[in-house]
């Protein structure tokens, strides 16, 4: 239920992680926002929800349990959801060191990091339209590239978690352009960003540490989700609160091919 003083409902995926929790906390600090943590682990979800509500004084923080690697789980959330969504921050991602398969039979990094973003936007399009002007922020990375449209699940190439991760983050940046074009006339903007280099489970699995704090990593996503100056921007890629040209966005045929390939997983 949206309180009288609530001006917006914001969903943050992966909100039990390093950057996602900081994004959720910074959004909740704007007490006119209801913030919904989209998580898969109930114990972590309860702990993070309580910590954020206590730290911000915002009583309108809650969670929903969803496995973002599974379309059926995302669709179940959309089916039980009532009301508009003003902000959707797609942030959850994984970097398993060995190739893993979801219960729906899809390679786990592609399913979570790319299709998870795709399915969330697809499932919540009507809720975003209801809230328009609404914003989608896709947390991507500068560490992106190597996308092979013929081998999105590493069936032909040997699996390497760095290569699978870079491909998935390229996909996030390309899908940002595709959805921005499709949702523009509905008053829904879609932008992507690199958050920052933060020490986390995800970065450690890739062999990285991180020299920025989770709060620093959250700054650009939260700015894209809320700041007046980027209200009209859509289909763009940002680093450290600056627009950066994205070579993947220029390949519009490739963008549409990837969108079609992802849509095929929904049929």
Rounded Cα–Cα distance for residues 222 and 73 (Å):
26
Member of 93, 128, 218, 225 binding ligand NAP (CB under 6 A):
93
Least Cβ distance, residue 144 to ligand NAP (angstroms): 9
Nearer to ligand NAP, 44 or 186 (CB): 44
Among 197, 239, 251, 256, binds ligand NAP (CB under 6 A): 197
CA 185 to chain centre: 21
Among 39-47, 78-86, 148-156, 246-254, the segment contacting ligand NAP (CB under 6 A): 39-47
Q: What's the closest the beta carbon of residue 40 comes to ligand NAP, in angstroms? A: 4
Question: Of 209, 227, 221, 69, which Cα lies nearest the Cα of 139?
Answer: 221
Nearer to ligand NAP, 66 or 190 (CB): 66
27 in contact with ligand NAP (CB under 6 A): no
**Sign of the Cα pseudo-torsion (219, 168, 117, 261, in order):** positive
- Residue 131 · residue 10 · CB < 8 Å: no
Judged by CB under 6 A, does residue 94 bind ligand NAP?
A: yes
**Residue numbers 150-169 binding ligand NAP by CB under 6 A:** 169
Tell me which of 63, 117, 142, 165 is the catalytic residue: 165
Q: Which residues of 62-78 are buried (b: 16+ CB within 10 A; e: fewer)?
A: ebbebbbbbbebbebbb
* CA pair distance 106, 47, nearest whole angstrom: 30
CB atoms within 10 A of CB 100: 15
Q: By CB under 6 A, which span of 2-10, 122-130, 191-199, 232-240 interacts with ligand NAP?
A: 191-199
Among 103, 201, 207, 244, binds ligand NAP (CB under 6 A): 201
Burial track 237-266 (b if 16+ CB lie within 10 A, e otherwise): bbbeeeeeebebbeeeebbeebbebbeebe
CB 22 within 8 A of CB 214: yes
- Report the alpha-carbon distance of residue 183 to residue 132 in Å, rounded: 10
165 is catalytic: yes
Q: What is the pattern of x (binds ligand NAP, CB under 6 A) and - over residues 48-67?
A: ------------------xx
Active site residues: 165
Q: Which residues bind ligand NAP (CB under 6 A)?
A: 14, 16-20, 39-41, 44, 66-69, 91-94, 112, 139, 141, 169, 194-195, 197-198, 200-203, 210
């Amino acid at each position: 239920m949206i309180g009288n003083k609530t001006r917006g409902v914001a969903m943050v995926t992966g909100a039990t992680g390093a950057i996602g929790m900081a994004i959720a906390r910074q959004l909740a600090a704007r007490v006119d926002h209801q913030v919904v943590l989209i998580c898969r682990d109930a114990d972590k979800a309860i702990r993070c929800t309580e910590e954020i509500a206590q730290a911000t004084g915002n009583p309108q923080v809650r969670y929903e349990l969803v496995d973002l690697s599974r379309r059926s789980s995302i669709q179940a959330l959309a089916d039980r959801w009532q009301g508009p969504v003003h902000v959707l921050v797609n942030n959850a991602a994984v970097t398993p060191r060995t190739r893993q398969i979801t219960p729906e039979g899809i390679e786990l990094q592609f399913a979570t990091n790319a299709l998870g973003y795709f399915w969330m936007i697809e499932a919540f399009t009507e809720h975003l339209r209801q809230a328009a002007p609404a914003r989608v922020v896709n947390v991507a990375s500068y560490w992106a590239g190597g996308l092979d449209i013929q081998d999105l699940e590493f069936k032909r190439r040997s699996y390497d978690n760095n290569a699978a991760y870079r491909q998935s983050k390229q996909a996030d940046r390309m899908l940002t352009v595709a959805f921005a074009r499709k949702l523009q006339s509905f008053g829904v903007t879609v932008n992507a960003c690199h958050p920052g280099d933060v020490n986390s489970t995800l970065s450690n699995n890739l062999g990285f540490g991180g020299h920025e704090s989770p709060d620093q990593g959250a700054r650009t996503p939260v700015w894209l989700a809320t700041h007046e100056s980027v209200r009209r921007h859509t289909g763009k890629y940002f680093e450290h609160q600056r627009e950066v040209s994205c070579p993947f966005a220029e390949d519009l045929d490739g963008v549409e091919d990837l969108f079609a390939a992802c849509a095929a997983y929904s049929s």
